[in-house]
Structure 1
């Protein structure tokens, strides 16, 4: 009985998140209405309020879902790399390039900060920083990069990647901005390498 109820809750949440994600991607947060979501999902406003509180809560849930998908994609990129350093660089550049994707750009890097505030304070960023810390520690253990404080360095790296993605999302020419950001990030990150090690 409890499992059936849990499945129903998950199904209801899933329908609302899917409907909201489609609306936010197509029309943006401001132009999307709660009636759009509920009609699309075949549910009532009461269900939306019960599960997410309001439209803002639904946006948070949509961004959490997209963040999770982004992390999965980045994990695949890290696994495919031939070295830890290559994985670190490839993952970082991929993150920057994701800000070019229309859905991610609009929901995560345009509407998200406008509605939910500073992205560096979002819960998902804590996971990103911990993951980056682990990569930095591994690179130090392998002797690829110089000794640094892992948390401070992770926060600086994530700040650079997030700042670049927000810049790209707002740029008049996002593609050119993305290319510049990628090249500049590699130049900055290469400063961590011990002498004799090669950058990408």
Structure 2
């Protein structure tokens, strides 16, 4: 009985998140009405309020889902890299380039900050910082980069990546901004390398 109820809750939440994600990606947060979202999901406004509190809570759930998918994609890039350094650089550049993807750009980098405030304070950013911190520590242990403070360096890097992504999302020419951000990141990151490293 408890399992059946848990499955029903998960199904209801899933329907609402799916409908909201589609609407937010196409229309944007401001132009997506709760009535349309719930009708598309085949549910009532009461279900939305019960599971997410309000439309803002639903946006948080959508962003959490997208963030989780982004983290999975970035983990694959890191795992498939031939060296820790290549994984670190490739993952960072991939994060920047994700800001060009229409759904991510609109929901995570445009509507998210406008509605939920400073993205550096979102829970998902802590996961990114910890992941980057582990990579920094591994690169130090391997003798690839200078013996920097891992947490401080991870926060600087994630701040730079987030700032670049927000800039790209708002740029008149996002593709040009992305190219410039990637080139600049490569130059900045290379300053971490010890002499003689790739």
TM-score range (shorter-chain normalised) is over 0.9
The RMSD of aligned alpha carbons is 0.4
Shift of 1:178: 0.3
Q: Distance in 2 between matches of 1:197 and 1:177?
A: 28
User: Number of residue pairs matched?
Assistant: 198
1:47-196 correspondence to structure 2 within 5 Å: 47-196=47-196
Q: Deviations over 1:50-89 (max 9, x none)?
A: 0000000000000000000000000010011000000000
Deviation at 1:182, TM superposition (A): 0.2
Structure 2 SS opposite 1:143: coil
Instruction: Give the Å deviation of 1:191.
Output: 0.5
CA distance in 1 between counterparts of 2:91 and 2:100 reads: 15
> Which portions of structure 1, spanning 4 or more consecutive aligned residues, are displaced by more than 2 angstroms?
none
Return the alpha-carbon distance in structure 2 between the equivalents of residues 37 and 139 of structure 1: 46
Measure the CA separation in 1 of the matches of 2:139 and 2:49: 46
Q: Matched residues in 2 for 1:100 and 1:128: separation?
A: 19
Distance 1:91 1:36 in 2: 37
SS in 1 for 2:190: helix
Partner Cα distance (2:130, 2:25) in 1:
29
- Unpaired runs of 5+ residues, structure 1, are none
Tell me the TM-score normalized by structure 1.
Answer: 0.98
Q: Which runs of 5+ in 2 are unaligned?
A: none
Superposed displacement of residue 36, structure 1: 1.1
